[in-house]
Amino acid sequence: MLLPCDRWQQRGGLTDWCLTWIGRMERRCEFLPEEKRAPNDTGIHQPLLNGDQPADASRVRIYTGSMTVDPCLTASSDPGRMTSSRLPVLLALVFSSLSPVLSHSNREMWFQDLFPPNTCPINAKTKTFYGIMFDAGSTGTRIHIYTFVQKSPEILPELEGEIFESVKPGLSAYADQPEKGAESVKRLLDMAIDAVPPHLWKKTPVVLKATAGLRLLSEEKAQALLSEVKEVFEESPFLVPEDSVSIMDGSYEGILAWITVNFLTGQLSGQNQHTVGTLDLGGASTQITFLPRFEETLKESPTDFLTSFEMFNSTYKLYTHSYLGFGLKAARLATLGALNTEVADRQMFRSSCLPKQLEAEWHFGGVKYRYGGNKEGETGFKPCYLEVLKVVKGKLHQPDEIRGSSFYAFSYYYDRAADTNLIDYEQGGVLEVRDFERKAKEVCDNMERFSSASPFLCMDLTYITALLKEGFGFRDNTLLQLTKKVNNIETSWTLGATFHLLQSLGITY
């Protein structure tokens, strides 16, 4: 059975076509030039199954898989950045069977009837809708454009795909030039204008949530940046909620990432639930989140480290905390002795974690730092580890039960492992904590050989080693699954935040 496209656009004499095969669904966009049409032909045809090439094969995007997919994408979309999945909408199942509550300490965040059936209009056709979420991190700004499909009012929507792009540096680098920071956001927003069909612009919400980078700025500078971004949003054709730009509580990053990973890996369904913890290492902060198995952990943990919520007729109490100032780049400053200090003109910060003859400049958070190696002192893993140890020793809570637990780790854990060939950059991999220490020793004791890749590579690997072992208290043989994506979806808090956004706006499907 052939179905015509639900949506088509006229683009310079070419019409987008869509071929949908029922059963094993496959989409293909084809183009029919106007000169080949009959008189008064609208151009809405069903292409033949003859294997003929479309008029412009370079502008065709193909998706295969057992799914019903969105109507043909526009030719201006980038085929390298769209991923498709038959995954049900995350958190729709998680929060749909009851009126759950997510409480953090004395705060409560309600997810009531995230996708209630009575909000779905009766529509025989597949309905597509979008959500745009910006992650304004300390090292870069990232846009996530999510596509959702509602096949019928009787079933839950599905997450069809994600378009992702990023720019560097992060918004915090424009602390003294907020207009330029807003320009970087506008460049990303232009992608959304191309990706979302014009007739859905006014129904598509756009939100930016800033994380640790802006938390480190003064309130005045942070608000100036957010105000400029808000103006960019208001000039766009999208739906702009009242709280469209804000600084997010770091603990929510960990909560949403934990739900994302465990839901996408199937750990929250069925009778045998074996959840995994999550570790996120950003530029300015780091998060740890896991589901405690022992009552002792709940009793011994600080009360503001515990968060409760209900789903699947079960109550979960998570251990989660965000440590501001313990992200990878903030830790560099702490190791150099430059964190939270007034930087004097031409002041040089030195470390045994850097090549002896190195002298360079580095910008972070809108501040320029001059740094270098210890020309007369020791270098290598041992003196570097002693420096880094001062940053983490006794500064983080160490719940006993994590020593024997499995964790997913992402962000800079992933990047530094990939940079040093501990894992494949595309596929990720499984490591033990001791693998980071082994690689740190190799790099630090041969610093000149590795410094061309990054002068901070020794310091970064040593910090990760100390953070895992001395900070959190993991064993050497603790297994870490390093990943960027699960089932082609970014392991990010942004997806969960998008669902909460759609629910809070009362958007119907």
Q: Which of 47-51, 87-91, 205-209 has the lowest mean pLDDT?
A: 47-51
Per cent of the chain over pLDDT 90 is 48
| Positions at the binding site for ATP | 283-287
Question: Helix 328-336 crosses helix 381-392 at what angle (to 10 degrees)?
Answer: 110
Range of lowest pLDDT (75-84, 301-310, 318-327): 75-84
Residue 295 CB neighbour total at 10 angstroms: 8
How big is the chain by its Cα radius of gyration, in Å? 25
Confidence label for 191 from pLDDT (cuts 50, 70 and 90) = very high
As a whole number of Å, the end-to-end CA separation of the chain is 26
Residue among 162, 228, 253, 310 flagged as catalytic: 253
Mean pLDDT for 267-294 is 85
Q: Domain 92-250+489-504: state its class.
A: alpha beta
Two structure tokens written together for 417: 């492992």
For position 91, what pLDDT does the model report? 43
**Tokens at residue 213, please?**
């980078």
Q: State the pLDDT at residue 44.
A: 36
The owner of tokens 């730092």 is 369
Say what the pTM is. 0.67
Q: Quick one: tokens of 475?
A: 């064993």
Angle at 163 between CA 183 and CA 234, to 5 degrees: 40
Give residue-wise pLDDT tens across range 400-428.
999 878 899 999 999 999 999 999 999 99
Q: How far apart are CA 430 and CA 172, in angstroms?
A: 33
On the 0-12 / 13-18 / 19+ scale of CB atoms within 10 A, 199 is: exposed
Is 277 a residue whose pLDDT tops 50?
A: yes
Contact 282, 301 (CB under 8 A): no
pLDDT per residue over 104-114, tens digit each? 443 333 333 33
Cα–Cα distance between 141 and 170 in angstroms, integer?
5
Stronger pLDDT, 499 or 393, i.e. the higher one = 393
* Cα–Cα distance for residue pair 317/310, rounded to 1 Å: 9
Residue with tokens 């992702």: 164
**501 pLDDT above the threshold of 60:** yes
Average pLDDT, the chain: 76
Q: Is 253 a catalytic residue?
A: yes
CA dist 483 and 490 (Å) reads 9
Domains of the chain by residue range: 1-76, 92-250+489-504, 328-395+429-482
The span from the CA of 235 to the CA of 229, in Å, is 10
Structure tokens at 312: 């699947």
